[in-house]
Chain A
Amino acid sequence: MNEENRAVVAETLVHTYGPDESSGVTALAGVDLEIKQGEFVCIIGPNGSGKSTLARHFNALLLPTSGRVLVFGMDTKDERNLWEIRRTAGMVFQNPDNQMVATVVEEDVAFGPENLGIKPEEIRQRVSDALKAVGMEDFSRASPHFLSGGQKQRVAIAGILAMMPSVIVLDEPTAMLDPRGRREVMETLSRLNKEKGITVVHITHHMDEAVHADRVIVMYEGKAVLSGSPAEVFSQTEDLSKWGLDVPFVERLGDMLRKSGYEVSRSALTVEEMVDELCRLRSST
């Protein structure tokens, strides 16, 4: 694979919080991973597994204690790359309230491009495009305070889009949302990934959000312990529960049926897929 195809690369990435490596707390204990351009990757793992720390390395908010992180070939340790890395790999955080700067939606979306020194006319264009891309164009003059959680997160995503990034890294953006808000955010992300080819790195506790990803990476105790397609990852039911993670209902049902000798495909991960699979099974003989 050539260099341009790799959006984010982490090589034996170690991160230690605290004064020095020996007395500090190790949050990342040697992570190796590669995220391809255009991929939709979900990172799952229990609290304290290092997910958020990892995400913050992707946009140079944190720098490696040892090892290195490359964003489109740019080393995050090289200070000259800092702003280009942050523009290229946008970041959305968990609490929708604590990442909005302005009192008007469109001005919040304009914040990033303004920091980049873009011309006012172009900022206006970008802001309106970005709000359209997340379906929030009717709220451009609204105050963020009156939006729902899901709407706020979509505005936050628009704020990133207006910087024309190639990757969006989202650190548990759905953790504080209700089911409707979660759905809104997930639909927005998958559309951006499919239609605009934006690489998505989505960190979540909700396993059902991971079933549609191209790839799932499991973090545990500072390491990337598992990586593969959702079907591959969720088939490791024993490991997953050992790591304190939920296995989605459909996968568990499939597992029980397989144990009883029914040939249910492992690739059935959603309710719809499982229903199709069961109907196929019924009519197969």
Chain B
Amino acid sequence: MPIEIEHVTYDYMPGTPSQVRALDDVCMTIRDGEFLGLIGPTGSGKSTLIQHLNGLLVPTSGRVLIDGLDTRAKGTDLRKLRQKVGLVFQYPEEQVFEETVFEDIAFGPKNLGVLGEEIEARVREAIALVGLPESLLQRSPFELSGGQLRRVALAGVLAMRPEVLVLDEPTAGLDPLGKREILGHIRRLHERGLTVVMVSHNMEDVAKLADRLVVLDHGRIVLDGTPREVFSHGELLESIGLDIPDVTKMMKELRKRGWPVRTDVLTLEEAYEEISGYLAGTKVGGPR
């Protein structure tokens, strides 16, 4: 189920003095099974863009086609689209409201008209997908830790069985362990066949997970390609206020100092290979 974004422009408060153009002629296609990282500084239009992916916002001009359906067309069933494209907002734990974890995860499927045993099955499936024990289901969500609550909120979207999962800064505010856990679950969901769109300003995270990166600045797409391609434009990324991963930064710096190393490395291991390979080759300071 591809999502096609065709020349989408979006203005907040159009026709008023405080009109702001949040998206400016954005064109892209989200392909089936892709893991897309969406990056850009605050105010670049990332959040506005992802709200177009399930019809929460509709373009001021241009159009968004989800599985061929135009989100702006009259006959389009937006609720159906929202089932197919699950959107997880930033700090999703803030949306939790039911008395038990079970009820809260069941909220989405119930809204879709799912009934009885099917709900039960979906809730159990969803909580397993985020790696939480079923014993939590009867607890009050307000007794859980921040990291657990975020996973409950994620389960609440997964229980609708979406085909595309869109996440806005899923690791914001978590400690390193919580961060690693939630990223692990997202990676596994992708491996199970879900299309994933992840907004993040943590370059290190997206570099490891995504197979495609789209960089936004001032509502426009400035880069679109594999992580290696995108990070090779270090100067551009830094000029729009983004950090490039330390690995890339270091390889670029070494290159500048005359080391014949590759600069498109993304992981620690690759960097180690390059550096130790070169050091061993020059036979200086090497192992004795």
Interface, chain A (partner B; CB < 8 A): 46-48, 94, 148-149, 175-176, 178-181, 205, 207-208, 244-246, 248-250, 252-253, 256-257, 260-263, 271-272, 274-275, 278-279, 281-285
Contacts and interface: CB of A to CB of B under 8 A. Distances in A.
Contacts of A249: 204, 245-247, 268
Interface in B99-131: none
Given A205-B175, A244-B176, A253-B268, 8 more contacts: A47-B147, A48-B145, A176-B173, A205-B176, A245-B176, A257-B276, A275-B257, A282-B284
Interface in B243-273: 243, 245-247, 249-250, 253-254, 257, 259, 268, 271-272
A184 to B, nearest CB: 11
A281 B284 contact: yes
| Interchain residue pairs A-B with the least CB separation, the first 6 | A261-B287, A244-B177, A281-B285, A246-B176, A249-B246, A47-B175
Contact of A253 (B41, B176, B178, B272): B272
Contacts of B253: 271-272, 275
A96 to B, nearest CB: 12
* Residue of B41, B174, B253, B287 with most partner-chain A CB within 10 A: B253
B29 interface: no
B288 interface: yes
Given A262-B286, A272-B253, A46 B175 contact: yes
B178 to A, nearest CB: 7
B268 A256 contact: yes
A119 to B, nearest CB: 39
15 contacts: A46-B175, A47-B145, A47-B147, A48-B145, A180-B42, A205-B175, A208-B246, A245-B177, A253-B271, A261-B288, A271-B246, A271-B249, A282-B284, A283-B284, A285-B284
A275 B250 contact: yes
A180 B254 CA distance: 25
Nearest to A172: B173
Contacts of A208: 246
A125 B218 CA distance: 38
Contacts of A205: 174-176
Contacts of B202: 179
A38 to B, nearest CB: 29
B95 interface: no
Contacts of B172: 176
Contact of B268 (A175, A252, A279, A281): A252
B286 A261 contact: yes
A248 B250 CA distance: 13
A257 B273 CA distance: 10
A205 B172 CA distance: 11
Interface in B155-178: 172-178
B234 interface: no
A284 B246 contact: no
B254 A275 contact: yes
Given A275-B257, A279-B257, A47 B178 contact: yes
Contact of A180 (B41, B272, B276): B41
Nearest to B287: A261
A232 B174 CA distance: 25
Contacts of A284: 284-285
A262 B257 contact: no
A244 B242 CA distance: 27
Contact of B42 (A48, A178, A253, A261): A178
Contacts of B241: 179-180
* Residue of B41, B42, B287, B288 with most partner-chain A CB within 10 A: B42
Contacts of B285: 262-263, 281-282, 284-285
Contact of A271 (B147, B176, B250): B250
Contacts of A248: 246
A260 B276 contact: yes
* Residue of A148, A178, A261, A284 with most partner-chain B CB within 10 A: A178
Nearest to B40: A178
A79 B249 CA distance: 52
B146 interface: yes
Interface in B179-230: 201-202, 204
Given A263-B285, A284-B285, A285-B284, A274 B250 contact: yes
Interface in B35-91: 41-42
B272 A179 contact: no
Nearest to B245: A249
Contact of B275 (A178, A180, A245, A278): A278
Given A47-B175, A178-B41, A244-B175, A250 B145 contact: no
Contacts of A252: 268
B144 interface: no
B279 interface: yes
Given A47-B147, A180-B42, A262 B175 contact: no
Contacts of B19: none
Nearest to B42: A178
A274 B272 CA distance: 13
A148 B42 contact: yes
